[in-house]
Amino acid sequence: MTHPLIERLETEFGWPRLSSMDAVAAFTAAPGAHCLFVPGDPARNLETADAAVILPELRNAFQAAFDCALVDDAIEAQVRESYRALKTPGFLFFREGAYLGDIQKIRDWDDYLARVSHILSLAAA
């Protein structure tokens, strides 16, 4: 069963749930900046629910400068290993297929703002 706050990202915000590495590649290769939400297990990691509330607020703070998708449990370990973002919850940022960076675990709001600003300022490699 999906945590209600994670489910809300799909139902209320319409964020896609990516369940294959091909889907990840297609989503992150689209024009613009993208954020993958790697939630982790909400039953074991209490920060997961917090992250599900924080990410939409971050997106609003940056005036929708990036779009978002959820990484499905089926590929979560593979995504985390591929980008060396091993701690959850995690936000992984991309621009037109290029991996820009990540934010792992819960942070202070000012730290999120500074990190996202920095990540989005990076040129796609």
Domain ranges of the chain: 4-121
Calpha distance 104→38 (Å, rounded):
9
For the segment 95-122, what is each residue's pLDDT rounded down to a tens digit? 999 999 999 999 999 999 999 999 999 9
User: 40-49, 71-80, 84-93, 99-108: which range is least confident on average?
Assistant: 40-49
Q: What pLDDT score does 6 carry?
A: 95
- For the cut 80, the answer to whether the pLDDT of residue 125 exceeds it is no
Q: What pLDDT score does 2 carry?
A: 81
The CATH T-level fold of domain 4-121 is Glutaredoxin (3.40.30)
Residue 47 has a CB neighbour count (10 Å cut-off) of 17
> How sure is the predictor about 17, in pLDDT bands with cuts at 50, 70 and 90?
very high
- For the cut 80, the answer to whether the pLDDT of residue 92 exceeds it is yes
The pTM of this model reads: 0.95
Q: What whole-number percentage of the chain has pLDDT above 70?
A: 98
Q: Which residues contact 93 (CB under 8 A, 6 or more apart)?
A: 33, 34, 35, 66, 99, 100, 101, 102, 116, 119, 120
Calpha distance 105→110 (Å, rounded):
14
